[in-house]
Structure 1
Amino acid sequence: MPSAAANVRNVVLVGHTGAGKTALVEDLLTVTGAPSAGQSREQARHGDGEHRSTRGISLTLSALRHRNMTINLLDTPGYPDFVGELRAGLRAADAALFIVSAVDGIDGATRALWAECSDVNMPRAVVVTRLDHPRADFTAAVAACQDAFGTGVLPVFLPDGAPQAGAEARLVGLLTGRVVEYGRGGRHEIDEPSGLNGAFEAARGALIEGIIAESEDEGLLDRYLGGEELDPKMLLDDAETAIAHGAFHPVLPFARATNGAGPPVGSVELLDMMVDAFPSPAEHPMPPLTRCDGSDCPGISADPDGPLLAEVVRTTTDPYVGRMSVVRVFSGTLRPDATVHVSGHGRAAAGHPDHDVDEKIGGLSLPEGTALHPVDACPAGGICVVTKLGTAETGDTLSDRDDPRLLAPWSMPEPLLPIAIEARTKSDEDKLPGALARLAAEDPTVTVRTDTETGQLLLWCMGEAHVDVLLDRLASRYGVDVDRGEPKIALRESLRGAAHGLGRHVKQSGGHGQYAICQIEAEPLPAGSGLQFVDEIVGGAVPRSFIPSVEKGIVAQMARGVATGCPMVDIRVRLVDGKAHSVDSSDMAFQIAGGLALRDAAAKAGVALLEPILEVSVLVPDEHVGAVMGDLSGRRGRVIGMEPLGAGDVGRTVIRAEVPELEMIRYAIELRSLTQGTGTFTRCAARYEPMPDHVASTMIRDRAT
């Protein structure tokens, strides 16, 4: 029978690529005897729902047992393109382990993520990895963590020297004073250590003061300053309480086995900390909740007998099993073959339409290491894998069909890198819509749209690596090959000046002829004016019945454009003269003549291209403000304002600018490079403005070919 919520810890691992998250998970699985990816052949089919080559770009779920507790480890991608998997891991977890390399330090994205977790008061701890590397420096890594994350980040163990291959490694407990030795003979504790230096005493004093600062015992500081020796057990209890409340953040050292045998250094201490200090699902606040109609509903708790409430945190398609959904159960108990209500709301703008449907789920499995085994139930607090949820997408809510409820969707950045795709063959074209629908169901950070003006099918992605993964999945998983291209910008045309236009459509070679001649005067108007058609015919040169035909022909020609195939806007057309034939004139003939007249006037006056201008807001750390502003100016942008953020985000600035959309196609990639992954931006349409001549001439030439 699965563990109760009090005996579960759901922990997400975050950190940049190369920090050692996946290696840490595998080491902990080995220490606890759980099947690891290397031990289980099921990994290729079930562990991730994908082959092992996808590890590092997808959220992976592994489970282990320690001291009769189940610890679900959610290993998230470190690469910023896969932030959707990271956010899903944060939603499913009750605490976070920040993995920091003792060699490489901390990147800007990890700093931003720490602040995000701080905003929701998520309990956090730091694990310093790769201590066996020759260039590892634990003291420097702790200092970097304190600089990046704040003074509440303090080590609870100190490595006594650097772990080296073939040598014993020692960890000193700062509160207990006990020494733990790791080596060829395994792990051993020493009650009466010797040779502890001044660095130990200084670190111990800082740790005790940090714990006291967060303690609920107001007299504890006075007792400590008075020289009283505080009970280590009491300090440990206070530290664990502060960790669970998100007020104190321990730093633990970790290194892989020193000589190829024995447990990894710090592994037991890390497992103990997760069990003792991280909150259970019953202690963690629930996400915001409403009924599907938007009305309020009573709060819930992690009660296995309560109403069912669960959320899909990852969706994938297995070639053998079909669709597989990783589900976090917040309340109630999920059972195989049960009928549940599937709700997905609030993401229509991102290309994920709302839906409400009752659906029967398939089998239910729980992780054991990286393998899965079937179970009869998954109670509140657990994370399981559900098969054959045909409708549910990542982010959807599962609830009782008699009382459907909806969890507020988690925060997700907007995909801002567009690529145009086109099916390579007719067979690919037939399979492409279904394959794209599956990709969108699996990944909430991808948006699929057809641009109604350019006709291109666009994938909006998070970055270049995200693009490569999506196209690879289309080919390898769904058998669909596509060609990629650059997105076209939806331009507008107008006239450079006033001009006279003649439209002549005369065909009288046998049979019923076609005869229509019209003359117009055309001129540009201010932005937003649209078409102004003025009838100035006198003397019946164009019969009254055919004047609407001329206007209809001009409207049709404006929709087609005259130079680039883009619509023409904001012009005044005066119909000043024309000729008709009593037999051969017709509605269609004057429509054609009206279009020809507009083309003639445009050829004489010249065509002005109008390009879309975006309002862009860029959020960057202060040290990158100058570089970003210079880059925006180089993109023909106009900076219209800067705003430092409030006290909670000291050191960050919002830059507001207006930039041509043509210059923003690859900005998601270039901003990341410019700001070392710390910059973000949003965009929205503002208006159209005339395009510079040198850019317009190139655009006309390219679109004419």
Structure 2
Amino acid sequence: MPSAAAEVRNVVLVGHTGAGKTALAEDLLSVAGAGGTGTGREQGRHPDGEHRSTRGISLTLSALHHRNMTINLLDTPGYPDFVGELRAGLRAADAALFVVSAVDGVDGATRALWAECAAVGMPRAVVVTRLDHPRADFASAVTACQDAFGAGVLPVFLPDGAVAGGDGARLVGLLTGRVVEYAGRDRRELDTSADLADGAFDEARGALIEGIIAESEDETLLDRYLGGEELDPKTLLDDAETAISRGSFHPVLPFAHPAGGGGLPVGSIELLDMMVDAFPSPAEHPLPPLTRCDGSDCPKMAADPDGPLLAEVVRTTTDPYVGRMSVVRVFSGTLRPDATVHVSGHGRAAVGHPDHDADEKVGGLSAPDGTTLRPLDACPAGGICVVTKLATAETGDTLSDRDDPRLLAPWTMPEPLLPIAIEARTKSDEDKLPTALSRLTAEDPTVMVRTETETSQLLLWCMGEAHADVLLERLASRYGVDVDRKEPRIALRETLRGPAHGLGRHVKQSGGHGQYAICHLEVEPLPAGSGLQFVDEVVGGAVPRSFIPSVEKGVLAQMTKGVVAGYPMVDIKVRLVDGKAHSVDSSDLAFQVAGGLALRDAAATAGVALLEPILEIAVLVPDEHVGAVMGDLSGRRGRVVGMEPVGRGDSGRTVIRAEVPELEMIRYAIDLRSVTQGTGTFTRSMARYEPMPEHLAAAVMKDRAS
């Protein structure tokens, strides 16, 4: 039986690209992999089914073993395109370890993520990496973290000496004053007192003690400290660990890769000790909100292996040999191989992810041991395991008892806002494409597949350019489907520039039963949103009453097809004023054709204007980027219609509301990230259609004509 919940720590690594998350995870695996034997440096396949080459774009799961504890380490991508993998890691974890480079500092996206974790009370700690770099500065990195993350962010160890992993690499414990020396594969605790220049030790120690006292539940500590009493380091350490577990105190630890790659990473044991001693177990971390599948409330649940089953699929992938593999976090109860569970979805059918509400049989269970998999007889509450043969379950789905199904509230998932159009390269690719796309959407909740009927294009909505590249590569390499990438087309509209008269003449005599219909139309444009207004003004029976609906039907059919560029025509008034019929050769079809011809004739006289869709967008950005975003929107023919402040001080942000042509928004997901250094987000919705500028309309007409 796997470890009880109290003996498990589920920790997610977060931080920007280049901060060193994956290198940190591999170094920790080398120290505390399967049984602490160093198996973390093996090459090959990861427990989630992905090859090592995919690290950096996918959530990866590894297991560490330290002091009889299992640490499930979830390494998340730092690149913003793969935020879905990041969200999955946050959902599966009980604490977050923020990885900050001593060279590059803290970026805006990491700052925003810290605030998001703070809002839900997730315990957090900081590890400063790349201290072996020549430009590394631990003190500056700590200051940057304190500026970005706020109160309660304090170092508990200071690096002293050459932290590149060679002889003399030392860490000084600020509470104990003891020195830890790393040399090659050896780690020694020395009795030598700390002796740092310029009073750095005393200053940092005082700040740490005051920070711990501020979070302590012992109200006498402050008076005792101010009275000059030397506080017991163990008491302070216990209080610090309690505050870390509550999410109100955030230790900063230094970390350096070993010189030459063969030594013990500097700070590795201290970091592992902190995760074991201070991060909460699954039993201490509250469960996500949940309901019964029928929407009714259900009793409060806890991480009890004997309780009702409650688990969630946090990642889905497909192995070419094993098939579908699901990484599952068990929140309550015990998941067993070959059990029948209830799979509940989250109502995301509108974005290409169908609802799920059915029973399904679980396949085999396995768990990471270092970076390899070992079979499991069961996965109790608090554990994370890999499940095979969940045929329909998607990322984000809930697994529960089939007799009393539950549904976990979905985690926050941003909407994909970068469209790319794809087209199957061959007939064989076209046949395989629907199945491949359904598997992609099952694996990745941040991708949306939609067929645009007006443009006849198949669109993949992605988080960014890198996300799009990965999806296309997976289609080719994993599913054997080659596609060509096309430029997305915008669904425009046509309307008349002014009033005109149109003649529709459909007369054919080729022997036998002929076709005869003539109609005269008066047309004029209407205000936006008016649609089609058809008026019968025929007098004297020039057009028989039975054929007047036929003329209207023909006009409407021609409007649907468009008259110039092939886009639907909207907002016109059509008056049927005259016409002619034949007693034998006139028919419903003939007057439909004549109605369409009359509209085309009138449009040729009046001229046609193209209308483009206008989007309402709301852009949320830090205050320092407001000017740059507004300038960029102006360059996109946008109109700013309002601004609203959100937050205060250094964390202040602003919502900019604007109206922008959709044509200018195709690549906005990429460009906004560049303008705001990755800190801006936006939402979009359809507002209305407006006339397109003449030079752009002319280019569209030319393109459609070619």
Which bracket does the TM-score occupy, shorter chain normalised?
over 0.9
Cα distance in structure 1, aligned partners of 2:437 and 2:503: 48
Equivalent in the alignment of 1:521: 522
8 Å contact from structure 2 (residues 165, 257) kept in 1: no
Tell me how far 1:165 sits from its aligned partner: 5.5
Tell me how far 1:262 sits from its aligned partner: 3.1
Equivalent in the alignment of 2:624: 623
SS of equivalent residue, structure 1 residue 189: strand
SS of equivalent residue, structure 2 residue 47: coil
After TM superposition, the score normalised by the length of structure 1 is: 0.98
Superposed CA offset, 1:647-680 (max 9, x none)? 4983210000011111101100000011110000
8 Å contact from structure 1 (residues 516, 590) kept in 2: yes
Cα distance in structure 1, aligned partners of 2:38 and 2:586: 82
8 Å contact from structure 1 (residues 183, 258) kept in 2: no
Cα distance in structure 2, aligned partners of 1:492 and 1:620: 33
- Structure 2 vs 1, CA of residues 649 and 574 (structure 1 numbering), >3 Å: closer, same or farther? farther
Tell me how far 1:687 sits from its aligned partner: 1.1
8 Å contact from structure 2 (residues 165, 184) kept in 1: no
Correspondence 1:455 to 2:460: no
SS of equivalent residue, structure 2 residue 84: helix
Cα distance in structure 2, aligned partners of 1:549 and 1:347: 42
Equivalent in the alignment of 1:29: 29
8 Å contact from structure 2 (residues 618, 684) kept in 1: yes
Deviates more, 1:648-657 or 1:338-347: 648-657
The aligned runs of 1:77-96 (5 Å cut-off) are 77-96=77-96
Equivalent in the alignment of 2:54: 54
8 Å contact from structure 1 (residues 615, 686) kept in 2: yes
Deviates more, 1:171-180 or 1:186-195: 186-195
Equivalent in the alignment of 1:304: 305
8 Å contact from structure 2 (residues 165, 263) kept in 1: no
8 Å contact from structure 2 (residues 554, 592) kept in 1: yes
8 Å contact from structure 1 (residues 310, 329) kept in 2: yes
Cα distance in structure 1, aligned partners of 2:226 and 2:670: 53
SS of equivalent residue, structure 2 residue 573: strand
- Structure 2 vs 1, CA of residues 602 and 649 (structure 1 numbering), >3 Å: closer, same or farther? farther
Cα distance in structure 2, aligned partners of 1:14 and 1:593: 66
The aligned runs of 1:492-507 (5 Å cut-off) are 492-507=493-508
Superposed CA offset, 1:549-594 (max 9, x none)? 1111001101111112111111111111111122211111111010
- Structure 2 vs 1, CA of residues 33 and 533 (structure 1 numbering), >3 Å: closer, same or farther? closer
Tell me how far 1:538 sits from its aligned partner: 1.1
Equivalent in the alignment of 1:486: 487
Equivalent in the alignment of 2:186: 186
Cα distance in structure 2, aligned partners of 1:696 and 1:127: 55
Tell me how far 1:512 sits from its aligned partner: 1.7
8 Å contact from structure 2 (residues 33, 369) kept in 1: no
- What letter matches 1:597 in structure 2? A
Cα distance in structure 1, aligned partners of 2:184 and 2:610: 74
Superposed CA offset, 1:51-72 (max 9, x none)? 2211110000000110110000
Equivalent in the alignment of 1:111: 111
Flag structure 2 segments of 5+ consecutive residues without an equivalent: none
- What letter matches 1:3 in structure 2? S
SS of equivalent residue, structure 1 residue 325: strand
- What letter matches 1:366 in structure 2? A
- Structure 2 vs 1, CA of residues 261 and 484 (structure 1 numbering), >3 Å: closer, same or farther? closer
Superposed CA offset, 1:12-59 (max 9, x none)? 000111111111111111112437676445x33x53312221111000
Tell me how far 1:688 sits from its aligned partner: 1.2
Equivalent in the alignment of 2:137: 137
Tell me how far 1:220 sits from its aligned partner: 1.0
Cα distance in structure 1, aligned partners of 2:447 and 2:670: 16
Superposed CA offset, 1:392-447 (max 9, x none)? 00000000000000000000000000011111100000000000000000000000
Cα distance in structure 1, aligned partners of 2:184 and 2:39: 24
Equivalent in the alignment of 2:175: 175
SS of equivalent residue, structure 2 residue 585: coil
Cα distance in structure 2, aligned partners of 1:279 and 1:649: 30
- What letter matches 1:249 in structure 2? H
- What letter matches 2:572 in structure 1? I
- What letter matches 2:486 in structure 1? G
Cα distance in structure 1, aligned partners of 2:526 and 2:457: 30
SS of equivalent residue, structure 2 residue 117: helix
Equivalent in the alignment of 1:324: 325
Superposed CA offset, 1:108-142 (max 9, x none)? 11111001101001000000001111111000000
Superposed CA offset, 1:257-316 (max 9, x none)? 135443110000000000000000000011001000111000100000000000000000
Tell me how far 1:151 sits from its aligned partner: 2.6
Flag structure 1 segments of 5+ consecutive residues without an equivalent: none
Equivalent in the alignment of 1:635: 636
8 Å contact from structure 1 (residues 258, 265) kept in 2: no
Superposed CA offset, 1:502-523 (max 9, x none)? 1111111322211111111000
- What letter matches 2:59 in structure 1? L
- Structure 2 vs 1, CA of residues 185 and 322 (structure 1 numbering), >3 Å: closer, same or farther? closer
Cα distance in structure 2, aligned partners of 1:109 and 1:165: 30
Cα distance in structure 1, aligned partners of 2:379 and 2:474: 30
- What letter matches 1:406 in structure 2? L
Tell me how far 1:646 sits from its aligned partner: 3.3
Cα distance in structure 1, aligned partners of 2:352 and 2:650: 31
SS of equivalent residue, structure 1 residue 418: strand
Equivalent in the alignment of 1:375: 376
Cα distance in structure 2, aligned partners of 1:543 and 1:162: 99
The aligned runs of 1:555-594 (5 Å cut-off) are 555-594=556-595
Tell me how far 1:542 sits from its aligned partner: 1.3
SS of equivalent residue, structure 2 residue 374: strand
Cα distance in structure 1, aligned partners of 2:111 and 2:172: 28
Cα distance in structure 1, aligned partners of 2:233 and 2:96: 25
8 Å contact from structure 2 (residues 612, 690) kept in 1: yes
8 Å contact from structure 2 (residues 517, 590) kept in 1: yes
